[in-house]
Amino acid sequence: MSRSPDPQLARDWKERLDRFERSELTIAEFCRTEGYSTASFYQWRRKLQAAYRPQTPAFIRIEHACTVGESHADLIAEIALPGGAIVKLPGDASRAQQRDLIEAIVLATTSDEVTS
């Protein structure tokens, strides 16, 4: 998981990105003028956009009472991921299995690597 950026560095980049928005330069021209790489520009823009995005709950608690004759094995929990993938987990999965799956999803969806 990624750690929080230095608050002063984040403020500096916010100001820099604001200057870019007011400029009529391309990203490459702006970065060359400011002395920063375009990779840093894109990385900070992504970080700061994520920081100001409205926060929604990561998980929504769902209550379900089994009816007569229905077992937990018949239930399936579905997790819809932002990319469109759906993860299904049987209702009789152990807490350890549930935890391992959720940890794997969080790690896969919060990678802080810059891809080209």
Q: What is the pLDDT of residues 41-77, one digit of tens each?
A: 999 998 888 776 665 555 556 555 555 565 555 667 7
Q: 89 near 77, Cβ under 8 Å?
A: yes
Give residue 99's domain range.
72-109
Supply φ then ψ for residue 6, to 5 degrees.
-60, 125
48 and 12 housed in the same domain: yes
Distance CA 99, CA 83 (A): 21
Positive or negative, the CA dihedral 89, 92, 93, 95 is: positive
pTM: 0.43
Distance CA 39, CA 47 (A): 12
Distance CA 1, CA 79 (A): 20
Q: How many domains does the structure of the chain reveal?
A: 2
43 and 15 housed in the same domain: yes
